[in-house]
Amino acid sequence: MIATLLILLTSLLFPGIIVKVKAIVSGRKGPGLLQPIFDIVRLMKKGNVYSTTTSIIFQVGPVIYFVTILCGVFFIPFGNSQGIISFEGDLILFVYFLGLGKFFLILNALDAGSGFEGMGANREALYSMLAEPAFLILVATFSMMAGYDSFSGIFAHWHLTTGNSLVLSVLASYILIQLAMIENSRLPVDDPKTHLELTMIHEVILLDNSGFDLGLVQLGNAFKFGIYGALIANFVLPEHQSLPVRALVFVAVIIVFAVIVGLLESFRARFKIEKNPQFILTLSSIAALAFIVALIITNKLL
């Protein structure tokens, strides 16, 4: 319950921190930290406009996308404290929840009947398919190391007490940061500020969405960033500290994660579209490397 509240609260600041960091780096004052959330609230106060070519899928797609991400937040523990949803093998259901939301968002784009949105949906599906093995290999690595197949079990028994655990935590943090950028269609695979439909990915599949639906999707993206930040925070959460100290560390790591995302977007150039699959598959290779290291540590590699 604690992790859920902290993720939801910090996620509201996440988009604003990214925008603020990018503004400072480029020498501008930039908007306030809460301006992106104000924009989402403004969208949610507006009505939806539906094309006559769309069906019920277009109307429920953004809602399902948001609900699945919100359910994903419920899986994240707070150190040795379980999340709202916790059971053996819950990390597999967590992956399916996020995949289900992405599936309906892609259907939402295809249902609009736009050639541009179909093109963006194709790219979104491809990148998600390529990124999923990296996450699954990563969670399998830590599941093997901790001896548990649930988030609460893994993080309750994962401590930065040895060099091996430190190396694996650094590799995992790098992979999670990159996956967060890919899953939220940020640089270097996509640019949320681009206005050229031919090169858009995430933005182009939302061209026909408006009002409350568009606000839900943007809020869901903020929560998704919070999920990845919370996973990284659980790797470094101190074990024998008071609850306020651990909560402070948890929030601080998520804020640092947002700053890193802002810095990466400030100094990174967007890849050519044909280079994106190679970049995403590289993350699976790094995850596989972490898995091999875990096999060596546990003496399971013959």
Q: Where are the domains of the chain?
A: 2-296
Of the pLDDT bands very low, low, confident and very high (cuts 50, 70, 90), residue 301 is low
CB atoms within 10 A of CB 57: 14
pLDDT in tens, 212-249: 999 999 999 999 999 999 999 988 887 767 788 889 99
CA angle in degrees (0–180, nearest 5) for 240-245-251: 120
pTM (2 d.p.): 0.92
Residue 263, Cβ density class (10 Å: 0-12 exposed, 13-18 middle, ≥19 buried): middle
289-294: long-range contacts (C-beta < 8 A, 24 or more apart)? 289/171, 290/137, 290/138, 290/141, 290/168, 290/171, 290/172, 290/175, 291/137, 291/140, 291/141, 291/144, 293/164, 293/167, 293/168, 293/171, 294/141, 294/142, 294/144, 294/145, 294/168
Greater pLDDT, 147 or 164: 147
Angle at the Cα of 181 from the Cα atoms of 180 and 184, rounded to 5 degrees: 80
pLDDT digits (tens, 9 = 90+) for 111-131: 988 888 888 898 889 999 999
> Can you give the pLDDT at residue 198?
67
Rounded to an integer, the average pLDDT of 18-36 is 90
pLDDT digits over 70-83, tens only? 999 999 998 778 88
